[in-house]
Chains A and B, each alone.
Chain A
Amino acid sequence: MRKRIVFTLSVLLTLTIALSGCSGRKAGDSSRIVVGIPQDLEDSLDPHKAAAAGTREVLFNVFEGLLKPDVNGDLIPAVAKEYTVSDDGLTYSFILRDGIKFHDGNPVTAQDVKYSIEKSAGMTGDASLIAAFSNIDKVNAVSDSQVDIVLKERDVDFPAYLASVSAAIIPMANATPDTTPIGTGPYKYVSRSPQENVIMERFDDYWGEKANIKDVEFKIEVGDAMIMDLKGGSVDMSARLSVTQVKQLGDEFDILEGSMNLVQALYLNNKVKPFDDVRVRQALCYATDTQEILDLAFDGHGAPIGSSVFPAFGKYFIPELADKYPRDVNKAKELLKEAGYADGFDMTITVPSNYIPHVDTAQVLVEQLKEAGIRATINQVEWNTWLSDVYAGRSYESTVIGVDASSMTAEALLGRFYSKADNNFANYSNAEYDRLYEESRITFDDARRTELYKDMEMILADDAANVYIQDMAEFVALNKKFEGYEFYPLYVLDIAKLKVKE
């Protein structure tokens, strides 16, 4: 018996040694890329239900709306080849692209589009991720190649919402969109293994410019193991790395710097004492030194901002606002005195502990505020707790977080400070701001709208609604075997443009 075991073991060992040369990726098989992502697609593979930015950026490769954003954030036709708007601005007529197919080989029909838009808009049951879609009155499949979307009220931003993954066109015949995603994008979904990976393959019948790399594996890797994987060669690319992480990487990588496209700020609960006093909020702004935060916590990278719009928004962004509150500790103290807090006050900064950059920022803030006599303490909480207590429950004093834009519209960023907005977690309320916002919703002249948005930005800055800090720098590490990564002004990870270096 014992001899038998020894024999089996030795056979196994020999086999192991003999076969070990065969495992691993073969050299030259470079039409495959492993992209490290810091979290699994945990919400849903159904594009109409995927809420997390981390999920949408991956699904961007699989799904397309009637329109889609290009690298500049401009809208380009996708499933629709063109569209027209009626004179009253209420009816959008989309002409479908000829011969466009889903990943399962079936053609995209007007019925599929009608189904998708209705599903995405929450007209068939599930709640919609796009609040502005409540404005859709009806969707009509006019002919085999034309779909009309009729709105209740005019909305100039409407096409921008259609370009979101949340408004993707999916086949009506697919009964399980949650687990078997089928879209029209440059990559098709192959399989997934929870907490391990998501596998995609190039869609060879794609209507547009086809992807270069055939196989893509999105590998889920947590924390510093990502750096280990990059160094060891089991991950070829990873986005959203921090300065510290990037510094640990060697020469085999191209490091690309972009921006995260979010508004990082010390968000204040404007309803809670003492933050209900504009002088206190301004004092906080004067006590803060943005450049020092960037230098200490971000190694000097990042773009300072002074209101709730980040630089990628081009015409809406007002760069001067970043200098509105230069560091002035004496002024801060004066303002506090006026507000009746001559001896300063105690405050709590609630930070989600899994976001190290926000935690670091909070730590620098605490030191800066101390000089103005404000005694801040950090309360690190789990992400889930943050969502329930701070974001949904609004029971907090202040928090450091980054807020992104779900679509390329200024409304996506500024709408949340409308006093009646569901997602107004800062509890901000300003009658003038509300008036401007309401006006912007019914203004269709682009110049006037831009003006309104800028005025709203100014109010947020004047009012010191929050202590605005920066749009954080983002680093992408790409193995030198590949090239072609492009940054979008949205939260997107476009794999189709990557290619193997010649």
Chain B
Amino acid sequence: MKYIGRKALIMLVTVLIVTMLVFLAFRVIPGDPVLNMLGTSATPEKVEQLREQMGLNRPLPVRYIEWLRDFFFGDMGKSYTYGIPVRSMLADKVPITITLTLLAFVFVVAISIPLGIFTAKHEDKWYSKAIDVLNQITMSIPSFFVGMLLTYLFGLILKWFKPGGFVNYKVSPVGFILYLIYPAIAIALPKAAMTVKLLKSSVLKEGKLDYVRTAYSRGNSTDEVLYKHVFKNALIPVITFLGMTLADMVAGSIIVEQVFSIPGLGRLLITSISTRDYPVAQSIIAIIACLVIMINFLVDVLYKMVDPRIR
């Protein structure tokens, strides 16, 4: 319990620091939301008037504290760009990004665990070596590029899906999932390749330990030893890695969203930064940061459950 409490505290401090950094970052980068809104029709009077209206004239610490307080109570302010509450804007987008990430994660697990064990078991066979090479290649291609290849192959040549034909989950949940399959694969492939490699070496390393020899000497078959003893122990480093991967994929999905023109958090984040729509950008970054930190926290807890030696 003490362990969880400590981790939770660290989690809170991290969120605070991240939001503060985000707030400061917008002061440092050049550009101004007011000028962006007015574009080429900006005149000094108009700028001043709008600045006053949006409360941008007040001191920074005051604005930060107010924002943090409101954010804590679930009020993320109003978008400068759209004039609607950020909360309602994100309510539509968060499910998209989360679904995409989770779907990708399912793919990572579904691909890497069987394949990792398979390659470890048949280490010396030629097909295992072939998988290794393939793995190495997949690992080295960034997911946005995999996305482009998939779009070209399945979208334009085979026409299995319509590039840019994203379907909102409110319109058709099935069409939504079907469209997300390809981007999810794009996100999952490089990560799955890494997981396969890690799991394989982990299984092989465990396989050389004394308890395995003991298990064999007790008359267990290879499969029994592998699944009952080795796999469980070999999984510990893999869980940590998968946790990190999941956190990484939340951020990674943002880039892939661009490739597949999925209107999730990613595009909103990028445009809100370039239009200096502070309330939106801050909220998205804060949400992503919270998600990542929360995942790490869960992994820590899970880790402790799998391996009680960890304190």
Contacts and interface: CB of A to CB of B under 8 A. Distances in A.
Interface of A: 15-16, 19-20, 22-24, 40, 42-45, 51-53, 126-127, 129, 131, 178-179, 193-197, 219-222, 225, 228-229, 231-235, 382-385, 387-389, 391-392, 403, 406, 422-423
B174 A19 contact: yes
Contacts of A179: 82-84
Contact of A196 (B49, B177, B263, B276): B263
B39 A388 contact: no
Contacts of A45: 83
Interface string B248-284: 0000000000110101000110010011110000000
Contact of A384 (B82, B84, B276): B276
B163 A229 contact: yes
B167 interface: yes
Interface string B155-175: 110000011110110001011
B164 A127 contact: no
Q: For chain B, which range describes its interface: under 10, 10 to 19, 20 to 34, or 35 or more residues?
A: 35 or more
Interface in B20-63: 30-32, 35-47, 49-50
A231 B163 contact: yes
Interface string B135-162: 0000000000000000100011000001
Contacts of A40: 81, 271
A179 B175 CA distance: 29
B163 A391 contact: no
A232 B41 contact: no
Contacts of B40: 51, 387, 391, 403, 423
Contact of A221 (B44, B49, B261): B261
A51 B267 contact: no
Contacts of A422: 43-44
B92 interface: yes
B268 A194 contact: yes
A194 B82 contact: yes
Contact of A232 (B50, B89, B156, B258): B156
Contacts of B12: none
B178 interface: yes
A23 B172 contact: yes
B267 A222 contact: yes
A215 to B, nearest CB: 13
A43 B167 contact: no
A23 B174 CA distance: 8
Interface of B: 30-32, 35-47, 49-50, 79, 81-84, 89, 92-93, 151, 155-156, 162-165, 167-168, 172, 174-175, 177-178, 258-259, 261, 263, 267-268, 271, 274-277
A392 B35 contact: yes
Nearest to B151: A228
B163 A234 contact: yes
B162 A233 contact: yes
Contacts of B261: 221-222, 225, 228-229
A22 B83 CA distance: 36
A232 B165 contact: yes
A225 B259 contact: yes
A414 to B, nearest CB: 15
A196 B43 CA distance: 31
Given A40-B271, A51-B37, A235-B164, A382 B178 contact: no
3 nearest interchain CB pairs? Answer: A229-B164, A384-B31, A196-B263
Contacts of A228: 151, 155-156, 163-164, 261
A127 B156 CA distance: 48
Contacts of B163: 225, 228-229, 231-232, 234
Contact of B164 (A24, A52, A193, A225): A225
Given A23-B178, A24-B165, A392-B42, A387 B35 contact: yes
9 contacts: A22-B174, A24-B175, A44-B37, A194-B89, A194-B93, A228-B261, A232-B155, A384-B276, A422-B44
B124 to A, nearest CB: 32
A406 B46 CA distance: 17
Given A23-B178, A195-B267, A229-B164, A384 B36 contact: yes
B144 to A, nearest CB: 12
Contacts of B46: 127
Contacts of B151: 228
Contacts of A126: 49
Given A229-B261, A392-B35, A234 B275 contact: no
A43 B39 contact: yes
A222 B258 contact: yes
Given A23-B178, A423-B42, 5 more contacts: A16-B174, A127-B46, A179-B84, A196-B168, A228-B156
Contacts of B44: 422
Contacts of B162: 24, 232-234
A423 B83 contact: no
Contacts of A229: 163-165, 261
Contacts of B156: 228, 231-232
Given A44-B83, A222-B267, A235-B164, A391 B42 contact: yes
Contact of A178 (B36, B83, B259, B267): B83
B38 to A, nearest CB: 5
A52 B167 CA distance: 28
Given A23-B172, A385-B31, A422-B43, A42 B271 contact: yes
B49 A127 contact: yes
A422 B45 CA distance: 10
A207 to B, nearest CB: 29
A384 B275 contact: yes
A195 B268 contact: yes
A23 to B, nearest CB: 4
Q: Find the residue from A19, A195, A382 having the highest chain B CB count within 10 A.
A: A195
A235 B275 CA distance: 25
A129 B49 CA distance: 13
Given A225-B259, A233-B162, A385-B30, A23 B175 contact: yes
Contact of A193 (B168, B259, B276): B168
B177 A221 contact: no
A387 B31 CA distance: 8
Contacts of A220: 263
